[in-house]
Structure 1
């Protein structure tokens, strides 16, 4: 029996099967994006103006991924094409040959729960908003240091080494350490590098890469991100998580890279 338009559980299963196929192809970034999305099927209804011989009609459908607004910039056209290549295969296996494309839309996030006496419980001074850890939250079990949130133990090790170097720097060579800052890049949407370090009027991006970064697809995605930072005149260095098991060697590496990219003429 063909997949019904409003069968939420079946549509969610389709998305899970799509994610599985993406994983078989080593596309872990697309897997992560699919995991946070919701799938809908929507009749085109004539909004799409068909090109002759492209098979679209007023009865055609499009697949819609509802995605978190804060992550919308990560669903680039190239990424949507990668997801659609697998999703289309799954839909056809479920006898949905009338779905001809994939689009994304921001999902409506739930409104916060507010008690009837919210005025009495409101703090006098509101906590200022911040882009730090925009995807990660302290109450999700993520490690914290100095009031900052990190996504892994490896990032904490790198942060502590950077903070140690920061303490040793004389005032004229001061450093600023920004873990997981939200950054809007021109053609790459919003990104959160693991660290940005600022000093001497220069900036350096530091990424802490786990084993999943060494697949072919993820390497290409990382290289694309690095190119966008290069266009801003900012160098990216990548550190494997295995380096944190040797903190003395990692400390020497960090000092060398900071000296090279922040405090030497280029």
Structure 2
């Protein structure tokens, strides 16, 4: 069995023919997943949410101390919201998990993601300073050119852009101009205790609602996402709803779900 066909972390890590980089990647993701699951079992949902903000997890060799270290990379705003107390709690859970898994990883560190720049960085920076950048992604300094971009708005995947296009169709084609909606994809803001980035915020009939787009990558999803939904409601949003990845892939079901979301948002309060 090669690394790409392996179904578990152990199969990848113990595969003698697997590249060392694949083994390190599997160990990093396994550590991250076990940390999140153990924190979830303890009921520390805020820390689980912060682990879900990790953009990349990797194992690197420290030549000075001759150790293998786990590094967790966060977007700058998410990193700024990671308190010293939270880092201490994550180090404690890492040490417990690392000892049990016996991967030989000695230390965990937290850092901001490094922007990706090329020789044209001066031109990119000039353009961004003059407004030529995705307007809903202002917190990400010097981003790579977004793969999914429409109406000067950036999206992290094709599913988010499908939802945006469907909402825009409702906004421009089906709802009357005097009673239509506003759409805010991936806005960044503050709720009590943390910064966050809802997938879509929609304003309709004097009410604001949050629409979250679920995906198959969510770990320990149900209880954590329920806690996040409650947080949005407590922070003033009139209605919070979710769309599954299966719905996103079905245009008719997606449109029906969005109309149901707008109806419930209109009737909320």
TM-score bracket relative to the smaller structure: 0.5 to 0.7
* Counterpart residue number, 2:77: 70
Distance 1:130 1:156, change over 3 A: closer
Q: Over the residues paired in the alignment, what is the CA RMSD in angstroms?
A: 4.3
* Equivalent residue number for residue 158 of structure 2: 153
Judged with a 3 Å threshold, the aligned counterparts in structure 2 of structure 1 residues 128 and 193 are, in CA distance, closer, same or farther, namely same
Give the structure 2 partner of residue 170 of structure 1. Answer: 176
User: 2:242 is matched with which residue: 230, 238, 260?
Assistant: 238
Tell me, yes or no, if the aligned pair for 1:18 and 1:86 is still in contact at 8 Å: no
Question: Counterparts of 1:108 and 1:211 in 2: how far apart (Å)?
Answer: 24
The residue aligned with 1:228 is: 231
1:51 corresponds to: none
- Show the 5 A alignment for 1:130-209: 132-133=136-137, 134=139, 139=144, 142-167=147-172, 168-187=174-193, 189-209=194-214
Change (3 A) 1:33 1:23: same
Alpha-carbon distance in 2 for matches of 1:185, 1:38 = 32
2:13 aligned partner: none
Contact 1:21–1:86 (Cα < 8 Å) also in 2: yes
Aligned length: 220
Q: What is the CA–CA distance in structure 1 between the aligned matches of 2:56 and 2:195, rounded to whole Å? A: 18
| 1:19 Cα offset (Å) | 3.5
Partners of 1:113 and 1:34 in 2: how far apart?
Answer: 21
Asked if structure 1 preserves the Cα contact closer than 8 Å seen for 2:134 and 2:154, the reply is no
Matches within 5 A, 1:11-50: 17-23=27-33, 27=37, 30=51, 33=54, 35=56
Unaligned runs of 5+ in 2: 1-22, 38-47, 63-69
Q: With structure 1 as the length reference, what TM-score do the two structures score? A: 0.63
Cα deviation digits, residues 115-173 of structure 1 (max 9, x gap)? 9xx79x957x8228876134598735521122211111111111111001101222331
Query: Contact 2:187/2:200 (CA < 8 Å) preserved in 1?
Result: yes
Q: 1:16 to 1:71 in 2, by over 3 A?
A: farther
- 1:227 positional shift: 1.4
Tell which structure's C-alpha radius of gyration is larger: 1
User: Within 2, Cα distance between the matches of 1:73 and 1:224?
Assistant: 22
Distance 1:177 1:242, change over 3 A: same
C-alpha change, 1:141 and 1:170, in structure 2 (3 Å) is closer
Q: How does 1:51-130 map to 2 (within 5 A)?
A: 68-72=75-79, 75=82, 81=89, 84-90=92-98, 94=104, 107=112, 126-127=130-131
SS at match of 2:241: strand
Gap runs ≥5 in structure 1: 1-12, 42-62
Of structures 1 and 2, the one with the larger relative CO (CA 8 A, separation 6+) is 1
